[in-house]
Amino acid sequence: MKRIGTYVGKQHGHPTGIVGRMVGERMIRQHVPETSWTISLLDLKMEDQVLEIGFGAGRAIELVATQIAQGHVSGIDLSQEMVRSASRRNAQAIKAGRVSLCQGDVTMLPFADNMFDKVFSIQTFYFWPDPQRAMAEIFRVLKAGGTLVVTLSTGSTRSIDDVGERWLRSYQTILEEQIIPGMKQLSFTTASIEQGPYSREFKTTAVVGMK
Ligand SMILES: C[S@@+](CC[C@H](N)C(=O)[O-])C[C@H]1O[C@@H](n2cnc3c(N)ncnc32)[C@H](O)[C@@H]1O
């Protein structure tokens, strides 16, 4: 049973093959509340240049693209399988040149400096190999005045004795003690922690910053 749990966990961090494809579609259904909340925090403008990191099966890319008719949505995800899924979901927008998706890692973004008005990421922070380096990369690609929103779960309604609950709660401390101070060192002009809606039993939190 534990081995199955570990396998499913791995599939969330790096979906592969047919199981990865199914996990990608399931995550779309599971992440509806935090996806719409994150997009609302972005305060999108028609001409925004937007980047999503870890887009999974590409539902947020699709939602953002419909809101910025004159803008552009870029996406990067570690998983080639998710690049395929999200590319299928956004085929028309890709053909029209309004969306472009690539495979890659948050710590090495293949984008020029000062390129994006908005950068966001939903339920991927746990898998970032080096969060401080990732934040520096995001800061580099954001335009001055640009906004960052990183959304994750920092708790659940399950008992405090539950290992998963304690693991999730530890992210609140990581955000407060490492990520927010790190963002201030990088010269983000604002850096705060916002509380969002519960998604299933999970407490939703976002780090919001402006360059
Ligand atoms: C839990 S899924 C969330 C997917 C999507 N954001 C959603 O809410 O449905 C995590 C995603 O982050 C991607 N990912 C994990 N590590 C990454 C990294 N270092 N750089 C970019 N993407 C990464 C995974 O491939 C996966 O698609």
pLDDT tens digits, residue range 137-170?
A: 999 999 999 999 999 998 887 766 666 777 788 8
Q: Is the CB of 53 under 6 A from ligand 1?
A: yes
- The answer to whether the CB of 205 falls within 8 A of the CB of 154 is yes
- Select the more confidently predicted residue: 201 or 32: 32
Contact 54, 77 (CB under 8 A): yes
Going from the C-alpha of 195 to that of each of 95, 123, 183, the distances in angstroms are 37, 14, 18
Q: Which atom of ligand 1 is nearest to the CA of 30?
A: 9
- Per the structure block, which two tokens stand in for 11? 């599939």
Give the rounded percent of residues in the chain with a pLDDT score beyond 70: 93
Q: What average pLDDT does the chain have?
A: 92
Ligand 1 neighbour 13 (Cβ under 6 A): yes
